[in-house]
């Protein structure tokens, strides 16, 4: 078990959406620790936000479990190429698709590209998200509110709708919600609201797709040390990030990958409509 860093973290700020190489300490995505055992052999997956953070950790784990992957991301080309390298190093195919998932047509093109390049689709991981911190409701513009919803929840609908015809029996959709769905932060009003919507969307969609054999679940992370943190939170929040958990620190991205793997495997054949909390001990009901 690595000796994971604990707060206080060094002072740091980045422009949105943030870059992995600029973080101190550098996040651990499981590059040197995740060992696969063929649990996803031959599967084909889309991972949105797969360039960094939780998405990169899931991409590494999926590849080492035998899956080929399409990595959808906004514009972080350096991070995306590094994730691609790690996937290909595991002997699997990695397709990069940059672009804005708040655009419905782009969401549909992601699915079309995956089917064409990977030869089909078995798993959709809706992980990409936008967040920004605000002290007062007056500080949140109409455009900011709309962007957060378009990126965090509307895109899940567009991607899921496009993916369902290709998933077939034993298909899997995994959505990333948050501890904020249960314990919303007053400084993340728009983001937290979308995360509650994601959990509701997951439970409803699971029921809708059950007769097709498609399982839909979500993972609810607590604080995770990703580029989103120094690029969207004020300095004091970054410095003490994760200190409010019983474990006393933020998760490293590698610690989020195992539930995404488990939920994607046939071992989870009777799990649908569920939320898996990975919160460092913070209660999630």
Task: Average the pLDDT over 147-153 and give the result.
Answer: 98
**Does the CA dihedral 243-246-247-252 come out positive or negative?**
negative
Indicate whether 196 pLDDT > 70: yes
pLDDT band (50, 70, 90) for residue 3: confident
- Cβ contact 219:202 at 8 Å: no
pLDDT band (50, 70, 90) for residue 87: very high
Annotated catalytic residue 270: no
d(CA 247, CA 242): 8
d(CA 11, CA 196): 30
What is the average pLDDT value for the chain, to the nearest integer?
97
Chain centre to alpha carbon of residue 201: 16
d(CA 203, CA 284): 16
Task: Average the pLDDT over 255-280 and give the result.
Answer: 98
φ, ψ (nearest 5 deg) of residue 125: -110, 105
Task: Using alpha carbons, select from 223, 206, 224 the residue that is nearest to residue 263.
Answer: 206
Asked if the peptide bond before residue 153 counts as cis, ω within 30 degrees of 0, the response is: no
Span 124-139, pLDDT tens digits? 999 999 999 999 999 9
- Gyration radius of the chain over CA positions: 17
pLDDT band (50, 70, 90) for residue 2: low
Q: Which residue among the candidates 9, 62, 158, 191 is catalytic per the annotation?
A: 191
Span 108-129, pLDDT tens digits? 999 999 999 999 999 999 999 9
Domains (ranges, CATH) in the chain?
A: 37-278 (3.40.50.720)
Span 214-231, pLDDT tens digits? 999 999 999 999 999 999
**Beta bridge mates, 48:** 72
Task: Using alpha carbons, select from 110, 47, 111 the residue that is nearest to residue 83.
Answer: 47
Asked if the peptide bond before residue 18 counts as cis, ω within 30 degrees of 0, the response is: no
Indicate whether 285 pLDDT > 90: no
pLDDT band (50, 70, 90) for residue 160: very high
- Structure tokens belonging to residue 151: 């990126």
Q: What is the pLDDT of residue 119?
A: 98
- Cβ contact 251:159 at 8 Å: no
Q: Name the H helices within 210-242.
A: 228-232, 235-239
């Amino acid at each position: 078990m690595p000796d994971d860093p604990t707060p206080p973290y060094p002072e740091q700020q980045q422009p949105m959406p943030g870059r992995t190489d600029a973080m101190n300490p550098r996040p651990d995505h499981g590059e040197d620790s995740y060992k696969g055992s063929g649990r996803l052999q031959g599967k084909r997956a889309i991972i949105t936000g797969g360039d960094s953070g939780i998405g990169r950790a899931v991409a590494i784990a999926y590849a080492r479990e035998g899956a080929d992957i399409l990595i959808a991301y906004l514009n972080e080309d350096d991070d995306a190429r590094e994730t691609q390298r790690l996937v290909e190093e595991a002997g699997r195919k990695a397709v990069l698709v940059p672009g804005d998932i708040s655009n419905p047509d782009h969401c549909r093109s992601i699915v079309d590209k995956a089917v064409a390049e990977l030869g089909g689709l078995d798993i959709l991981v809706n992980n990409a998200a936008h967040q920004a911190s605000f002290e007062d409701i007056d500080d949140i513009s109409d455009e900011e509110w709309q962007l957060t919803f378009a990126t965090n929840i509307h895109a899940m609908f567009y991607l899921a709708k496009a993916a369902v015809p290709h998933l077939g029996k034993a298909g899997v959709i995994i959505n990333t919600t948050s501890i904020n769905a249960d314990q919303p932060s007053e400084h993340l009003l728009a983001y937290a609201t979308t995360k509650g919507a994601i959990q509701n969307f997951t439970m409803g969609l699971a029921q809708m797709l059950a007769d097709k054999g498609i399982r839909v679940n979500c993972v609810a992370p607590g604080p995770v040390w990703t580029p989103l943190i120094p690029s969207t939170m004020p300095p004091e929040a970054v410095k003490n990030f994760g200190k409010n958990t019983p474990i006393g620190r933020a998760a490293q991205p590698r610690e989020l990958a195992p539930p995404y793997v488990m939920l994607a495997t046939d071992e989870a054949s009777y799990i649908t409509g569920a939320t898996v909390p990975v919160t460092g001990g913070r209660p999630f009901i």
